[in-house]
Structure 1
Amino acid sequence: MAKRQKSNRKITYLIQTIVRKLSQTKHQANQGTRKKKKNRFKSKLMTRFSGIRAKLLFAFAIPIILMLVYGIVSYNKSSDAIISGYEKSATDTLESVKDYLSIGVDAVASKAYEAVYNETLKNYYNKADEMSNEEEKSNFNAVKGILASTKSSHPFIYAVHAIGKLGSSTSTVGAFPDGIYEGFLESPLGQQIQTSTQRLMWIGNHSYIDEKLENKQTSYSLSIIRKMAENNGFIVVDIQTNEILKSLSKINFAEGSIIGFITADGKETLAEAKDTNVFVDLPYYKALADSKEPSGFSYEEYNGEKYIFLYTKLGDTGAALCALVPEHAILAQANEIRSLNVIFVTIACIIAGIIGTIIAAGIGREITKLSGSIAKAANGDLTTKFETKRKDEFRILSDSLTDMIGGMRKLIEEVSAVGTRVSSSADNLSHTTSDILGSTKNISFAIEEIGKGVVQQATDTEQCSNLMSGLSEKVNHVYDNTNEIEQIAIDTKSIVGEGIVTIDELSKKSSATTDITHVVIDEIEELEFKSRSIEQVISVINDIASQTNLLSLNASIEAARAGEAGRGFAVVAEEIRKLADQSVAASNQIKVIIQDIQTKTQGTVASAKRAESIVESQMEALDKTISTFEDINQHVAKLVHNLDNISQGVKGIEAAKDETMDAISNISAISEETASSSEEVSATAIEQITSVEYLSNSAIKLAEDAKILEEAIRQFKLS
């Protein structure tokens, strides 16, 4: 029975699908003519943007776009590589020229040092005023020879000047006028050298010397001024501008580059440049003074264009070798690559457009021919044929469409035969499903009643479980409170024990206080005894003072008898009497103080005795307190024992509670499973009813569709 129902369902679905497709085909054929004019403009527009031509052009455009992206990336990569390579090459070139110049500059500095410490030159400028005319002239000629020899010893040296405080100053360029030493010291450069603690200085200009020699400053680019050994003169050595320019000419940078040698005081020597000053006024050159880097480069603006600024410092001279190279000259090779990329991409776009148009036109013609034959088939003419002269995929498509139409023609003929058989089977199926539907509804009602009872049982079990859960929480709460009270009792017992120890220590300290009080009382009584001894001493002092007073009186009497001879003795006797009176007065004051001390000592003794009695009372109170704490400790111990018994009882209750909860959980789980099973059976019964109803409706619909199928098949032209 089930296999038959399944087979009938498949046949019904197949017939419904065929009828629906045939109806749609007929409907589309009827409405095609009406919509053709309306959709013509829209079709042309869509064809233009979604047709094969557009897709082919788009397909050709993808590799062209990738080529364009590749060109852009390669241009960027090549430009970066060219720039980085040029940066390194230019930096290395500047460094090599700097190294060459450093060798020459170091050699010039060495020659200046040799000249300063030449014995003949030192002897002349230190002792010229002590020499005779012939000696002075001979030594001066020797100095001139030394300067000339120094100049010819190295190609970098343009001129050598010797300026001394004593003797005559001289130069390889010409003769100095008198007073050159004093005048040079008064010049700004001379004052700068005097205040400097350095033995030498590198400069770009010495205007005062050039003025006196009528020398052109353009003949030298850098000079070293070195103090003589005794600080009584200077040796000045100039470095030739031609040698600097010769070194700069070896730097082969891009066209439009500016290369210069700049001294610390701002003198520029430029290679092939019309301007005399280029770098000195530039802000990024001024920043070199604060930079600790010996060399480097950066991209800067110069006259509104972008340049790469390169520099390297020349040792301790303060001079720097600088260059400005235009960025566009560096990127000339990269720009050629960019131009080639643009040309190739443009040619590729034109060729792709032509090829795409030719291919799209041929494909369009074949599609138009095939679409005409397909339109006939869509209107019901299954005798149409698909023909093409092409031997590519369109030939395969034409043959496939022809086979498809033939297959459809055979299928419709078979469907026509099956439709008659389906119509009679549908009537029988309709009666059978009515009987099955009634039986299934009765089964579903019985299962529903069982499900209600099981659900009620599950609800009651869940309520019982919730009540036990609440009881469980309360038992846990009691257990936690009992543990907390037990812990508090244990802590209380510990605190009481600490209190007993503290009170015991207090008792010991009270005993010590009592002992100290006894000692204080004894010391005060001894002090009172000593005070009485002081009174006896004061009595003796008073007796001595009385006797001294009597002796003084007797001495005065004897002095009066002696007359003029005993006057001095009378004065002494008077002084002794005064001292005796003062001793009596002082002893009386001491007596009063001693009496006050005795009075306060007696009061202190009384206070100490009262303190002794208070301390004894404290000892008795402490003994009672210790006894009370011991009683508290015993009661707390009993409380801890009882709380422990309560805690054990609560643990037993909790264990019983857990077993009860497990039993209720098992009952609840079984009830839930039973309810779930009844629900599944009920759902299955309902689903069965739905299936039977659907089967009954399908049988009725199948009979109707079979009739529609017969009418639809009649519309096709099969022969």
Structure 2
Amino acid sequence: MSEVEQHDKKPKKGRKPGGIKEKKEKPSASTGIHTAKSFFSNVGTAISRMPMNPAKSVGIRLFLIFLSAIVFFVIVLGYLSYDKAKSTIEKNAANGNQQTIIQTSEKIDIILEKYENAGRQIFYDIELQKLLSEYTNKKLSDYDAFTVERSIRDKLSNQITSDSSIRAIYLIPTKSEKIISAGQASESSKTVLEQSWYTELKEGDKKIMWLPTMQNSGAPYFTIARSLGSMNDLTSTYVVMFELNASVLDTQLKGINLGENGQLQLMSPEGIVVSSSESSIVGSETAWAFAKEFPADTKTDDVRTKDEEGRSVLAVYNTLDTNDWKLVGSVQTSELTKDASSILVITLIVAAIDVIFAILIGIWMVRMIARPLGKLNLLMKEGAKGNLNVRTDHKSQDEIGQLSASFNDMMEQITGLVQQTSNTAQEVLRTATELSDASKKTAISAKEIAVATEEIANGASSLAVEAERGSDLTNNISKQMQMVVSANEEMGKSARHVESASELGTKHLSDLLDKTHQTEDMTRSMMHKVDGLKETTSSVVKVLDVLQNITKQTNILSLNATIEAARAGAAGKGFMVVADEIRQLADQSRQSIDMVSQITDRIMTEMNETVQVLLDANPLFKGQMDAVKETNDIFVSVQQQMVDFIESLDSVTHSIDELNESQNVLSEAMSNVSAVAEESSATSEEVASLSTEQQSVSGQLVNLSSQLENVSNDLKETLSRFRL
């Protein structure tokens, strides 16, 4: 009995043999515990029996996908819920803390405005103004000044007594710069006049200054100072300074709760802690580095940042209206969101429960899917061994049921196919035997045809070789004739070119001869003109000699006139000046005549040289004319000979053209013979090749027939292994 049949004959659970149902017992506590243990034991057994390689089991893949999807979505949903709750808590805490900070800032502004107004009220008290007017009187005696100063101190002390938050009050006239103080004066009051803020108040750059908290030997304090003008003397100004206990601000901060481990700090722009919910840091520089990065143009805001220890904190701040101090509140984010951690814990618990349910559902899915597929796998292995009678009895409406029905149909089709293939193999075996006999006869006939065709091809090849040789000779003669024709044409072109060059040379020589005659005439004319110019220059020399004599006589006359003027004394001074001018003109004329004489001599010399050059060039022109005439006669003779040569060359060209035409006809005839011979040879070779190929195909056909017979026998033997 096969493994499949044994699997089908297993008794169904829940029924006794004979079809009698088992009676159900009422569950008890011990029965429930036993059932739970049995259930988890069965689950463990089922898991251990499942193939654990996902690549080899569809059920395991479905189980892992189902488990991963459920766990993923539960964890993601839980984390998103936790993150949303956390962000909501932070947002609500930020809004609540910011409102608290704003309200506290308003209270602090009220307190600070109170002391701003207090300083103005004290100073503008009518009695105090009268005392200040007397105090600034320079005629006042020392005793009276001491009495007035004590009265002023009493007025200030009364204000301190009425408000316990005021440590000390200082009144400083800017003219005398003598400090009048009341209350517990601090050590820093001794150096007030040296502080930069006092200078700003004194010079009027600012009207009011808030100084951050300073540590004293006792309680910490902060200071307000303002500049005020006297009502009695408009030129006198005073600086009123209050030192206030920091506790007046601390009480406002200590009652505020931003959250567990939350802290409040009121700090100056320089980072000095003016007041804080933690008294130990008042007066020192804040350790919150993030507070120094708040933008100055933003009045209030909330930021999420890190403190000096790297912990995430939620910080809110608000800038006071009275001054530029900032009230900053900080609380650790972890303290705000610690209640949201329970959501994350619940998420993990639910995820663990979902994992258990996913495992149970996954096992059920494996049993519903993997078992039918495993049974179908065993049936396929039986079919692979040759048992075509196997069938599956799984019936359902899902895809596995459809797969089982398709498997049964496939086995039916394979059974019919094997039967049909067996019958076909018998027919193929019979046909292969007949085909083998016919192939052998065809091979013998093809061999005889190949021998006859080969002999025809050899004769056609010899004829083609001889025709090709004759065609090559004819082509060679045609090429030589073509070269002769080309050379003859080139010779004709050269002869015509020489003829044209001779005509052009004759024409140029005629022009050269005419120009040479013109040059000779111009040279002769130039010689005549140079002779005329030479005579003209001689006339100029004669005129220059006459002018030279006139200049000498004029010079002598000017000397005589000078002598006569000297004899005449004072009456002849005017005549002496005229005589000097005439003598100077005579000297200038003599110099000009000498210069013209030199130029004339140079012209005469150059004209003589020019005449000599023209006389030397005249025989050369005559020799050039004779040479040009002889060259012209030679060109005329060459031109006549080239005309005769061209006529002879034309006759030779005509004869060569006729010979070339005859050669072309002969070459064309030889080409046709060669082509026919080659075509005949190619056809013979093709027929011989086809005969050889047919012989080869016949041999292959015989082999294929034998192979087909062998394959048919093998197929018959293979089909005999199937059980139908």
Which TM-score tier does this pair reach, normalised by the shorter chain?
Answer: 0.3 to 0.5
Looking at secondary structure, tell me which structure has more helix per residue: 1
Q: Which of the pair has more CA radius of gyration?
A: 2
Q: TM-score w.r.t. structure 2 length?
A: 0.47
Q: TM-score, normalised by structure 1?
A: 0.47
